[in-house]
Amino acid sequence: MTKSTKDQMRDVIADVLGDAMDCTRVWEAWSVGTMSQDDFSVITDDEDRLMEIVDVAWQSRQPEIDAKDQRIKELEVGLRDCIDTMREWAGYASEYFREKHNLKRDVEEFEAILKGKP
């Protein structure tokens, strides 16, 4: 995850949490009667705690991100195969097909997509 992405996630999570508080003691302290207001802190005031939440949120999305990355790689391979086939068969295209399609332009557009410049 880039720093920019992490910062954006941090800002969104901090906004959602607002003034939500963390209990800094073990939960059993309630039953002992020793817990007080001092045992709570605003989560967004603790940068380490906030970033811990950001990291967990990011990790929970990782399988989905990995699956999308894999699908993108598969589509890139398919598009490269298509470009190769278009180049290979361009000389055999009928005159009618050549009038309806500009294979050179189509290949250039597909290559631009692969380079991230659609």
**Domain segments of the chain: what residues?**
3-114
Close Cβ partners of 25 (under 8 Å, ≥ 6 residues apart) = 35, 39
pLDDT number for residue 118:
55
Close Cβ partners of 103 (under 8 Å, ≥ 6 residues apart) = 86, 87, 90, 93
Among candidate residues 23, 20, 16, 25, the one with its CA nearest the CA of residue 45: 20
Rounded mean pLDDT, 16-45: 89
The tens digit of pLDDT for each residue in 34-88 reads 888 888 999 999 999 999 999 999 888 888 888 888 888 888 898 888 888 888 8
Which amino acid, one-letter code, is at 32? V
Q: Rounded to whole angstroms, how far apart are CA atoms 7 and 54?
A: 9
